[in-house]
Structure 1
Amino acid sequence: MTSDSRTGVVVLAAGSGQRLGFGIPKAQVLLGEEPILRHALAGVVAASVADRIVVALPHGEKPGPGTLHEVVEVFLAEHRDAEWELSVVEGGATRADSVARALSALDGVERVLVHDAARPLVPVQVFQRVADALVAGARAVIPAIPVVDTIKQVHTSHGADADISPELVTGNIARESLRAVQTPQGFSYAALKAAHDDAQYLDDKQAEAITDDAMLLESRGVPVHVVAGSTYSLKITTPVDLILAEGLLEGPLAGRWMGEA
């Protein structure tokens, strides 16, 4: 980082983890020998982009042994001499609510990165590319990777063909211009805060159509820049994703935060 202005990082760890199937918040599930949240925090710190870190924890979780609050407390205790600050907020009912609450706790920073704890293995280079783009003047920047699968557009069939399958192909989408978006996503703090303040006035249908923070900025006419993401930045949602992440830790990421693909 080449600027003296402050950068905040929001780490979203309020997800229930229902599809992962462990009966505990997703960020609390062990990846290797440590909770997913700890891996995510380690990645943020290793990237050296944050002056302040705010973690959004599950709504209603009380501090105590075996909780995500304890994960944060232990992490802080192991970094007593750190130059960055770390605090927690209670997450909201939706991802957008959690981001908005965390932004309120970050007042005073110039830039902010919003990161999903469910992507615990993001290489440090990805954090740095996003942060550097913000320093260079971008108001919104996202990491992404090319789409490698063939993409087809379909519609739900209600005719005779529905007896064969419920969907029919209606067209093909050229994948050369498509990107799979990851986190951390980076923004001007002022631009993202204003977007979230206005988002509270969206109706349910409009709110449901916005699936990440970059879309909020796009809806306001802010150019969203794209930097290279990483195949290591997988999102842990299902048990298969967790198995893949375990494999990365045992293989190419055994020397964690050093490699990239």
Structure 2
Amino acid sequence: MHAAAIVAAAGSGSRLGADRPKALVLLAGRPLVAWAVEGLLVGGVADVVVTVPAIERAAFAAVLPSTVRIVDGGDTRTASVRAGLAALPREADVVLVHDAARPLTPPDVVARVLGALTAGAQAVVPVLPVVDTTILVADDGTIAEAVPRAPLRRVQTPQGFDRGTLAAAYAALPVGTELTDDAAVVRAAGVPVVTVPGDERSAKVTVPHDLTLAELAVTLDGSSGTVAR
């Protein structure tokens, strides 16, 4: 099995209050995207494609290994993943899609996703249980219903796929359709998605508070300069 990964890194840093693309925001002195790419490589991925804002290609090239392929992303996540798929090496038969905004995803999570693909799954996502009480809220703001949380899960990345399966699912997705993640794309094509355990360290960096927590995690882990394990 030859595993490649697409890292979606074309998003802005507006909600993070940053003056640069979110993936280039520093965490413990290194850009978020550098952490994310390292985790994938340590976890067993052979090739990485990073989708970036076209005007920031040089900035990304300056902080990523020379072996990483950098391509222009699109205006949406779906467009960026399509661009990443087109840039994958021919020999890759499985592909992981990862968010640059999940910088501290442990390599063990990557390995679990790859393990499920090796075992024959066509699509795999890492998940975590929902621990808070979860409710449905009516239009007037009152609680309409409490949702049983036992079957609920929080979905993370990297999400892994048989390459042909993911490519076919994207080809079948109507132009202009935007789904929340790649698992939703393959599910729309009728493909079952297997789950594996995720990790709390895979939290997504979206707002300044998230970055503060990630900085604290790096400090407590004692792994500044290397990906969290």
TM superposition score normalised by structure 1: 0.83
1:121 equivalent to 2:104? Answer yes
Structure 1 counterpart of 2:183, one-letter code? A
User: Could you tell me how far 1:155 is from its partner in structure 2?
Assistant: 2.4
2: CA distance between counterparts of 1:13 and 1:235?
Answer: 13
1: CA distance between counterparts of 2:76 and 2:4?
Answer: 21
Q: What is the correspondence of 1:190-229 to structure 2 with a 5 Å cutoff?
A: 190-199=164-173, 201-202=174-175, 204=176, 207-208=177-178, 210-229=179-198
Task: Name the counterpart of 1:162.
Answer: none
User: Could you tell me how far 1:253 is from its partner in structure 2?
Assistant: 5.2
User: Could you tell me how far 1:117 is from its partner in structure 2?
Assistant: 0.7
Task: Name the counterpart of 1:80.
Answer: none
Please list every run of 5 or more consecutive structure 1 residues that lacks an aligned counterpart in the other structure: 77-84, 158-166
1: CA distance between counterparts of 2:106 and 2:222?
Answer: 9
User: Could you tell me how far 1:23 is from its partner in structure 2?
Assistant: 1.7
2: CA distance between counterparts of 1:115 and 1:193?
Answer: 16
Please list every run of 5 or more consecutive structure 2 residues that lacks an aligned counterpart in the other structure: none
Structure 2 counterpart of 1:140, one-letter code? A
User: Could you tell me how far 1:96 is from its partner in structure 2?
Assistant: 0.6
User: Could you tell me how far 1:231 is from its partner in structure 2?
Assistant: 0.5
- Note the aligned Cα RMSD (angstroms): 1.5
Structure 1 counterpart of 2:75, one-letter code? A
Measured against aligned partners, the alpha-carbon deviations of 1:158-212 in whole angstroms (never above 9, x if no partner) come to xxxxxxxxx121111111100000000000100101111122x24x5xx24x200
Measured against aligned partners, the alpha-carbon deviations of 1:112-142 in whole angstroms (never above 9, x if no partner) come to 0000010000011100000010011000000
TM superposition score normalised by structure 2: 0.94
Structure 2 counterpart of 1:60, one-letter code? I
User: Could you tell me how far 1:257 is from its partner in structure 2?
Assistant: 4.2
Overall identity of the aligned pairs, in %: 41
On the 8 A contact 1:57/1:69 being kept in 2, the answer is no
Is the alpha carbon distance of 1:26 and 1:258 closer, same or farther for their aligned partners in structure 2, counting shifts above 3 Å? Answer: closer
**In structure 2, the residue corresponding to 1:8 is in which secondary structure?**
strand
1: CA distance between counterparts of 2:19 and 2:80?
Answer: 21
Q: 1:142 aligns with which of 112, 125, 129?
A: 125
**In structure 2, the residue corresponding to 1:88 is in which secondary structure?**
strand
Task: Name the counterpart of 2:54.
Answer: 59
Shift >3 Å, 4+ stretches: 255-259
Q: What is the correspondence of 1:4-15 to structure 2 with a 5 Å cutoff?
A: 5-15=1-11
User: Could you tell me how far 1:6 is from its partner in structure 2?
Assistant: 1.4
User: Could you tell me how far 1:62 is from its partner in structure 2?
Assistant: 4.5
Task: Name the counterpart of 2:45.
Answer: 50
Task: Name the counterpart of 1:70.
Answer: 62
Higher Rg of the two aligned structures: 1
1: CA distance between counterparts of 2:88 and 2:215?
Answer: 33
On the 8 A contact 1:59/1:93 being kept in 2, the answer is no
1: CA distance between counterparts of 2:17 and 2:191?
Answer: 38
User: Could you tell me how far 1:20 is from its partner in structure 2?
Assistant: 0.1
Task: Name the counterpart of 2:93.
Answer: 110
Q: What is the correspondence of 1:159-238 to structure 2 with a 5 Å cutoff?
A: 167-199=141-173, 201-202=174-175, 204=176, 207-208=177-178, 210-238=179-207
User: Could you tell me how far 1:252 is from its partner in structure 2?
Assistant: 2.6
1: CA distance between counterparts of 2:8 and 2:160?
Answer: 14
On the 8 A contact 1:40/1:117 being kept in 2, the answer is yes
1: CA distance between counterparts of 2:122 and 2:113?
Answer: 11
